[in-house]
Structure 1
Amino acid sequence: MSGDEWTVARYLATRLEQLGIRYLFGVPGDFLGPFLTIMQETTGVRWIGTPTEMGGGYAADAYARVRAADTDPEKGEVGVGAVAVTYGVGAFSLLNAIGGAYVEDVPLIAINAAPSYEQWLNQQAVGLLTSHMSPRRESNLAVYRQVTVDAQLLSNPGLAPSQIDSAITACLTERKPVYLEVMEDLWHAPCAPPQGELRAHGRTFTKRNEEMLAKAVKAAVALIDAFGTPIVWAGEELVRHRLEDELLDFVQSTEMQFCTTVGAKSVVSERHPRFAGVYNGRASLPEIRETFQNAGCRIGLGTWSTSKNLGGEQSIGDDWIVAARDGVSVGSKYFPEVQLGRFIRALRDALSGRTFPADHFALAHAAGLDVPASTAAFLDSLSATEYPAELTYDSFFAHMNHFLEHRATGGDPQAPSPFTVVSDAAFALLGSMNLRITERAGFLAQNSWLSIGYSVGAATGVALGRQQPMKRPLVFVGDGSFQEICQELSTQVRHHLRPVVFVLDNEGFYGIEQMLVSPCYYKDRPSNGADFYNVLHPWRYEKLAEVFGTDKDRMHGREVSTHAELDALLAEIADPGDDLNHAPILARVRLSRHDYPRALQYKIDERCP
């Protein structure tokens, strides 16, 4: 291809490069091959082939998240990920990952290489099906329309540039995935070159919006006056819209304490003096739940009210303010089309000169609740140096908390962490949500969609997205989740990405499913009442290092059953010069099948008298 020749493949690859995308993830195929060749020849975007389409989607999702967190939106920088697969079998395998990005507002570009226009005409005329083709011509397109904000079928090279630009603009504007299905014979087809750069188009701020904002703020101030002692609940949209500075300005101006949702964990450093932990409804640690509910009123900023961050509790009552999803609820009143960033700034200004410096743990303690006497005392209690004889979920994460706060940084609590924590769903998430993350955007989890195995594929995207400065993914994943997608470790070995993956092995058991369906299994030890469908085939997880590693591309496998063994492993990981840290690490953590995070004790108390 000559330097001045533009094709649809070069056009799309160039648009990806202009967005700051450096890696395209996915699984190749004959329909996709021509695009990858042209992309390699004409741009700096590099192909990262993954063993599974779902794993490629997870990697692209995490890459988009960390790039969004590390870019400067004021400079017009964006954080977007991209994944490419081949029609039918590849696209349907990818669908789950794109569904998760759609639910959690992650901007992704999904590229599906389809059969040629000639093959489509053959199918239409005589019913001839080529590889991976469905008799329903729009089957792939129709499915992806359910989980994207724009889905385009590219069959005409003359229209392709405008379709590509339209979809990417929607991706940037809505911060959600888009889908491009490109027929194979378009890759080499000539088209016009790109014109200008693509950007998000925000909603205009009208006079009507200004009036609605003023009404919402007035109502919010009245509610705060009526109930007093507010506590802030910082949520996911602060992360997605990069509003961490607005949050900091608000809490510093008002001196309000704040909790976060799991999805907004580490929106700012959790060493902030006003931070009071992660509130996750009834799945919170009991101390956090008691203090959060003991506040006079609650102010949700960008919080998504899901069953996973509320545990079934009522999210909006007379003593709640919730600003999210382009509206504000104040008690029973609702104010539509109020932009979150503007609301935070306007409420801060309306409260100017007033402060609410309550320590909610101290207030709850004084009210007779069984909580520590101060927030600082509680947060310090989450990190431990003395442990029980038996390795449990809670003692494991207390040990890891101490490691992250005091040892991973060489003993300097102000030094940047070498890790980004990546958590999977279920018990792993309930344990890791209480780790104290000292750096902004130092924690990543798929907390709404909760596709098990996400963390293992996501580690690839985190590692490639955070190379300057380099952050190692520190992954916590349950054994059932890990079995879904263990092969994604091979990508990390191949590209020398060096994650540390802790597989929480509770003797081959879907612990969270047992807890949700029949929690009484956990009440009386030992019990043989486990539901048969929650039992997994046991693996020797640490031995997978021998499967994925080679003499050239190494991987290390370890097994820990005690705190002494865990401490020895963490000492090696904390030493940058240790040979162990030159390759990925897979550590099997042996736990009892009857153990569970204490955050779930309420399930047993409610259903097992």
Structure 2
Amino acid sequence: MSSADEWTVGRYLATRLEQLGIRHVFGVPGDLLGPFLTIMQETTAVRWVGTPTELGAGYAADAYARVRLADAGADQPEQGVAAVAVTYSVGAFNLLNAVGGAYVEDVPLIAINGAPSYEQWLNFQAVGLLTTHMSPRRESNLEVYRQVTVDAQVLSNPGLAPSQIDSAITACLTERKPVYLEVMEDLWHAPCDAPQGRLRAHERPFTERNQAILDKAVAAAAELITRLGTPIVWAGEELVRHRLERELLEFVEATEMQFCTTVGAKSVVSERHPRFAGVYNGKASLPEIRETFKNAGCRIGLGTWSTSKNLNGEQSIGDDWIVAARGGVSVGALYFPDVQLGHFVPALQTALAGRTFPADHFALAREAGLDVPATTAEFLDSLSSAHPDGTELTYDGFFERVNHFLEHQATGGDPQAPSPFTVVSDAAFALLGSMNLRITERAGYLAQNSWLSIGYSVGAATGVALGRQQPLKRPLVFVGDGSFQEICQELSTHVRHHLRPVVFVLDNEGFYGIEQMLVSPCYYKGRPSDGADFYNVLHPWRYEKLAEVFGSEKDPMRGFELSTHAELDSLLADLADPDNDLNHAPVLARVRLSRHDYPRALQYKVDENCP
């Protein structure tokens, strides 16, 4: 055991995590990782959060990084990082999916893998002796992680370990993507140099050449806006990842342009902003939003990613589009490389100085003869309902009621009060229903909308709850039954660590609804199944009873079964009461829905395929 003032590789890595503001490391332990966890516990303020699955740990770390970045100062990007730790091969391969999602969605994670010792590798090299979890392919773990990280390192020499750790973490901070550190077991207690200074991101230099290209991009964008008029802004994911919400606000307020967001940028600013016009998600947008967005004179994408879930098959770049994302700017058919979003937004605002574009696109669309509400405000208000039509729950009725709860009940009736919840949505019908909730606080909504790994939300709730303790936010989770069955055991993490998420399992009679919609949408028009649906049928669970499985008398969990609006109203009223004992523990609610029901955002699928 090393003395208190001696630096080892394990202490070095733990200290670097602590310096980044990380206070929780998620994962599943193993003998190859255990020494590091002991060192971390003894020498830093970073605490271990053990989870039942490596995948759940990865989801938790992903969400932890997202909310910490959102809550850090805009000038402190190094605070928006998370770490997850597992053991070699069997743990690392289970974690891979979550790290892949973070890579696709620009979430900075540090993935730590405890590996067999250098001595064991030499034995294998000399005589072919395999030890626990080892593969005959020595670099198997490293090779797969190279596909989903911006830097992947194997640490086998304690003398080189500090520089390897620092270079990987610097890449993580700079690129805002995951990195991988595979540390051989006999390095944890091996001596090394002490850390020098703090690690930070290294920004790309802004050169005279960059200024010249920026000027051309801005001039082309300003000319297109002038020529086509009535622009609408489409705010995207990179505004969130690069903490450019202030630049967005200044731009739309100076120009008086209306703005939509992608699902991934939902709540980049408060959706109570008077210029907010809803979430645009291609054909999966609500029809009113889609029509007004398409009928604008031109569209300005700021940090938007062209993903199938953002556009759903619609053309992303045309003669009437401006898109600034992924390190460049497209203006119609013109492309301007190496133009950073943080430079482009204020420069375009300067170019448009003194000019405003105060159109209400809903009003303009109505004047053009489209059947949409008279104003944006009227439409957004219509998505909230204290008393939805009908008795039985439907997807749309459920989310209309939840919308009213979030806007009027959860804050004690004060629309200016901070919300006690952060909404966390899973993929599929849950995402398409929750994307139209009006989130009144910046960064009050979280979803994995590009990678779309089902079950993400339940693990992510752990990261949100632990990452948002000051001020305390309670995860409000929406997850489909198929997604939930992937990762239900992560509920035990919520109970074990005294977290208090509210998890709504949307149970449409045990059915992969989104898969059925994608393969055979005519099923939803009442026609007999064409045989494509048999593999979408799930084994039915009594989800609410899992509260008894994971809870205990000392650490309870409350379970509910909801079939009607009255039952939903009763639960929401209790959740709105801070003095109700229900709010001292996690809540699991099974929402019973018809197998033939679906969010109206997907109506176009039925209309296009089932005449």
TM-score range (shorter-chain normalised) is over 0.9
**Partner residue of 1:33?**
34
**Partner residue of 1:484?**
486
**Partner residue of 2:337?**
336
- Does the 8 A contact of 1:521 with 1:529 survive in 2? no
Question: Which residue identity lines up with residue 343 of structure 1 in the other structure?
Answer: F
**Partner residue of 2:579?**
577
Residue 225 of structure 1 deviates from its aligned partner by: 1.3
**Partner residue of 1:462?**
464
Question: Which residue identity lines up with residue 57 of structure 1 in the other structure?
Answer: G
SS in 2 for 1:73: coil
**Partner residue of 2:606?**
604
Distance in 1 (CA, whole Å) between partners of 2:598 and 2:130 is: 51
Distance 1:524 1:260, change over 3 A: same
SS in 2 for 1:313: coil
Distance in 1 (CA, whole Å) between partners of 2:318 and 2:425 is: 31
Residue 386 of structure 1 deviates from its aligned partner by: 2.3
- Does the 8 A contact of 2:391 with 2:566 survive in 1? no
Distance 1:345 1:321, change over 3 A: same
Question: Which residue identity lines up with residue 276 of structure 2 in the other structure?
Answer: F
**Partner residue of 1:410?**
412
SS in 1 for 2:487: helix
Distance in 2 (CA, whole Å) between partners of 1:545 and 1:496 is: 14
- Which one of the candidate residues 428, 431, 440 is aligned to 1:429? 431
Residue pairs, 1:367-406, within 5 angstroms: 367-387=368-388, 388-406=390-408
User: Deviation digits for residues 221-269 of structure 1, max 9, x if unmatched?
Assistant: 1111111100000000000000000000000000000000000000000
Distance in 2 (CA, whole Å) between partners of 1:567 and 1:357 is: 39
SS in 1 for 2:36: helix
Instruction: Give the unaligned 5+ runs of structure 1.
Output: none
Distance in 1 (CA, whole Å) between partners of 2:98 and 2:90 is: 14
Residue pairs, 1:100-499, within 5 angstroms: 100-387=101-388, 388-499=390-501
Residue 389 of structure 1 deviates from its aligned partner by: 2.2
- Does the 8 A contact of 1:525 with 1:594 survive in 2? no
**Partner residue of 1:67?**
68
Distance in 1 (CA, whole Å) between partners of 2:295 and 2:77 is: 42
Distance in 2 (CA, whole Å) between partners of 1:564 and 1:117 is: 63
- Does the 8 A contact of 2:69 with 2:77 survive in 1? no
Instruction: Give the unaligned 5+ runs of structure 2.
Output: none
- Does 2:20 match 1:5? no
Question: Which residue identity lines up with residue 30 of structure 1 in the other structure?
Answer: D
Distance in 1 (CA, whole Å) between partners of 2:312 and 2:237 is: 17
Distance in 2 (CA, whole Å) between partners of 1:18 and 1:465 is: 16
**Partner residue of 2:50?**
49
Question: Which residue identity lines up with residue 31 of structure 2 in the other structure?
Answer: D
Bigger shift: residues 349-358 or 523-532: 523-532
Distance in 1 (CA, whole Å) between partners of 2:185 and 2:468 is: 33
Question: Which residue identity lines up with residue 220 of structure 1 in the other structure?
Answer: A
Residue 320 of structure 1 deviates from its aligned partner by: 0.2
Residue 77 of structure 1 deviates from its aligned partner by: 4.8
Distance in 2 (CA, whole Å) between partners of 1:76 and 1:601 is: 40
SS in 2 for 1:29: coil
Residue 4 of structure 1 deviates from its aligned partner by: 1.1
Residue 530 of structure 1 deviates from its aligned partner by: 5.6
- Does the 8 A contact of 1:230 with 1:299 survive in 2? yes
Distance in 2 (CA, whole Å) between partners of 1:110 and 1:581 is: 34
Distance in 2 (CA, whole Å) between partners of 1:241 and 1:188 is: 37
Structure 1: 4+ residue segments shifted above 4 A: 525-530
Question: Which residue identity lines up with residue 472 of structure 2 in the other structure?
Answer: M
SS in 2 for 1:15: helix
SS in 1 for 2:260: strand
User: Deviation digits for residues 560-585 of structure 1, max 9, x if unmatched?
Assistant: 00000000000011001101111000
**Partner residue of 2:96?**
95
- Does the 8 A contact of 1:58 with 1:461 survive in 2? yes
User: Deviation digits for residues 184-239 of structure 1, max 9, x if unmatched?
Assistant: 00000000000000000000000000000000000001111111100000000000
Distance in 1 (CA, whole Å) between partners of 2:235 and 2:595 is: 34
- Does the 8 A contact of 1:523 with 1:604 survive in 2? yes
Distance in 2 (CA, whole Å) between partners of 1:571 and 1:34 is: 47
Distance 1:468 1:434, change over 3 A: same
Distance in 2 (CA, whole Å) between partners of 1:414 and 1:51 is: 39
Distance in 2 (CA, whole Å) between partners of 1:445 and 1:75 is: 23
- Does the 8 A contact of 1:255 with 1:355 survive in 2? yes
Question: Which residue identity lines up with residue 155 of structure 1 in the other structure?
Answer: S
Question: Which residue identity lines up with residue 600 of structure 2 in the other structure?
Answer: R
Distance in 2 (CA, whole Å) between partners of 1:308 and 1:510 is: 18
- Does the 8 A contact of 2:78 with 2:173 survive in 1? no
Bigger shift: residues 399-408 or 71-80: 71-80
Residue pairs, 1:494-573, within 5 angstroms: 494-524=496-526, 531-573=533-575
- Does the 8 A contact of 2:78 with 2:200 survive in 1? no
Residue 525 of structure 1 deviates from its aligned partner by: 6.3
Distance in 1 (CA, whole Å) between partners of 2:76 and 2:53 is: 35
Residue 526 of structure 1 deviates from its aligned partner by: 7.3
Distance in 2 (CA, whole Å) between partners of 1:78 and 1:366 is: 48
Residue 75 of structure 1 deviates from its aligned partner by: 4.8
Residue 528 of structure 1 deviates from its aligned partner by: 8.0
Distance in 1 (CA, whole Å) between partners of 2:387 and 2:581 is: 28
Distance in 1 (CA, whole Å) between partners of 2:403 and 2:113 is: 42
User: Deviation digits for residues 268-324 of structure 1, max 9, x if unmatched?
Assistant: 000000000000000000000000001000000000010111010000000000000
Distance in 2 (CA, whole Å) between partners of 1:248 and 1:587 is: 37
Distance in 1 (CA, whole Å) between partners of 2:79 and 2:232 is: 31
Distance in 1 (CA, whole Å) between partners of 2:598 and 2:163 is: 53
SS in 1 for 2:218: helix
Distance in 2 (CA, whole Å) between partners of 1:308 and 1:263 is: 9
Distance in 1 (CA, whole Å) between partners of 2:508 and 2:271 is: 29
Distance in 2 (CA, whole Å) between partners of 1:384 and 1:74 is: 39
Residue 91 of structure 1 deviates from its aligned partner by: 0.2
SS in 2 for 1:74: coil
Question: Which residue identity lines up with residue 208 of structure 2 in the other structure?
Answer: K
- Does the 8 A contact of 1:478 with 1:503 survive in 2? yes
Distance in 2 (CA, whole Å) between partners of 1:501 and 1:239 is: 25
Residue 78 of structure 1 deviates from its aligned partner by: 2.0
User: Deviation digits for residues 106-161 of structure 1, max 9, x if unmatched?
Assistant: 00000000000011111111111111110000000000000000000000000000
- Does the 8 A contact of 2:424 with 2:476 survive in 1? yes
SS in 2 for 1:190: coil
- Does the 8 A contact of 1:521 with 1:530 survive in 2? no
Question: Which residue identity lines up with residue 215 of structure 2 in the other structure?
Answer: A
Distance in 1 (CA, whole Å) between partners of 2:192 and 2:90 is: 29
Distance 1:125 1:75, change over 3 A: closer
- Does the 8 A contact of 1:422 with 1:475 survive in 2? yes
Residue 524 of structure 1 deviates from its aligned partner by: 1.4
The two structures, once aligned, show a CA RMSD in angstroms of 0.9
Bigger shift: residues 75-84 or 357-366: 75-84
Question: Which residue identity lines up with residue 84 of structure 2 in the other structure?
Answer: V
Question: Which residue identity lines up with residue 15 of structure 1 in the other structure?
Answer: R
